[in-house]
Chains A and B, each alone.
Chain A
Amino acid sequence: METQEDPWQTADGMARRLTMDGLTRLDTAGQVRAALATGWSSQNGEHRWEFRIRPNVHFHDGTALTAETVAASLTQSCRSGACPWTAVQAVGQTVVLTSDSPMPDLPAQLARAEFLIAHSDTQGAPDGTGVFQVTGFANGVMAFAANDDYWNGRPFVDAVELRPRRSIRDQWLDLSIGRADLVQVPPQMLHQAQQQHMAVTVSEPVELVALQLSATGALANPKLREAVALAVDRSALYNVIFQKQGEITASLLPEALSGYAFLFAPDRDLNRAVALRGGATSSVLTLAAEDGGAELQLAIERIALNLREAGFRAQVMPAAQSGQGQPDILLRRVSLEETQAGAALNEMLESFGQHGTASGTDTAALYRAERDFLAGHTVVPLLWLPRAWAVSERVRDLRLAADGSPQLSDAASEDTK
């Protein structure tokens, strides 16, 4: 298996997914299933939740999974980002999470990659209870072996080799010569992969490409932010840069998930953008792409051209300088893991620094919440993109999780590695 990213990156690095479990998990249909928690219940109007920890589960180094290690892991997770709860406590074999506001989607939220349970082994390395365990790292290859004592049964695959930080071109070359069984296919290269007769597995749209606009500085005026939103030509991004993959959107949720995304018009209105800008000579807008990927860099340069057509003075910060200073407009790629509309909206809002309070299944209420948020024009959704993987002919029964990541625990290979 080969990827471009850091395998241990906090959110959804592939090594984390292979070696760690969450208290809950989502099946391929997006339903919440038990994982390290055998059951859960809520009290006090969903302000308090109790999760019962699965007994007889051990980390790969032999340490027993306890409520205390779970609570410590969840507390550690909160240090790097926002958490829906305000306190975590280990009470006997249960972990109690409490919050000042209701947490209706907490079981689903705990299935996210960022809340996978881990502890530090004797050497200080992260260690989990996952279906695979790390056996070595040499010559840029991480080796994983099947966890024979996995609480949910041993996987079909005996071992996995992961080559991280590998370019797409090299991944595809390795796949073509049989050196790799599973490689990444960026959305904009799906067409190319198909032309090369690769076996490609594509997820539902799970990544939102959106502009995050600073509400201070040059774009402090909401009208200017609205002008920016109206000036962007989504169709050029969709048709050319991302090669007609995914879907054009002006919503924070995919149409299939929310059912109301069509109500947010993604059309470009250059005349109105020019009118809203008002002809004033604004200061230079700085634009940057979040992760510096080639397609996002190209997209932000295209958006800069769109803005110049609307009369803005736009300057794209080179990828190398994207981390220096806060740009006025940041092009981001945000993953969606939640499969329920309310939880998904909350997840997206939190991704953009807004505390999500949407709850229940009331579509109208969700629509209003999203509409109110987008009315501030601090976030401009552009495209929903799928995740795709190319697999070799030896791999059988590979399925993708709801967030588009491959579920290797259920896959098989003709000759076990």
Chain B
Amino acid sequence: MAALPSYAGPLERFWYYAFRVLCGSIFLFLIAPIIVMIPLSFNAEPYFTFTPEMLALKPEAFSMRWYQDILDNEQWLHSMKNSFIVGAAATFLATSLGTIAALGLSRSDMPYRTLIMGLLLSPMIVPLIITAAGLFFFYSSIGLAQTYTGLILAHTALGTPFVVITVTATLSGFDRNLIRASSSLGASPQRTFFKVILPLISPGVISGGLFAFVTSFDEVVVALFLAGFEQRTVPRQMWAGIREQISPTILAVATILVGISILLLATMEVLRRRSERLRGLSPN
């Protein structure tokens, strides 16, 4: 869709601009819901609409009161702490397990690759309500329901497919001669992994880890079944807020979460570029 060619007729000209308008409105559809609540979270009134004062950009129509609300509320602070604890632990476990498995899966001599890959990716495919119901009964029967351990293990299982996918994708461009070179120079398999493989696949590992973190950080269905009051995560708390009484505090939390997603998106972009550069170095 580069510039309009010089031989374009009037109809084609019209179509060209109509198409751009169409695409513009689809982009608007995608981004508007995320943008619109940011100014609303600074609303001085407890409404979800733009007051006439806000539209006139009067400073007194804006306030930080909903952000103050979060800081004053023990439950929100506790749930943020929970989200980070559960997210960090689940990410660590998922990344370690997923990376090791990806090393095996990407070897050409892996037996039953499709079957095993299918099993390992199933947490991503099975509807969350079924996962949540299954884990609820299982963890209740072994006494891990309503504990941090249960929630962390559940989120680990949900996060591993993303690590497996990203790391396997990174390894597909990996030059295996480097491993042979390293072993021939006398390095142990562990040393080869940490000094040769890991630095080269680190963009894939980190982006897989980020996916795993976001999965846990955003997960609400399993948390609804498994988390007790003590383990409430941010999404679980938001869920209660939206269901019971939706207040602009929710919008303030949502704005903070959008801020976090922008940070994650920027990190992913940096990693993608780095990965492309690293790949450019390898002879493939």
Chains A and B are bound partners? no
Binding site for B on A (CB under 8 A): none
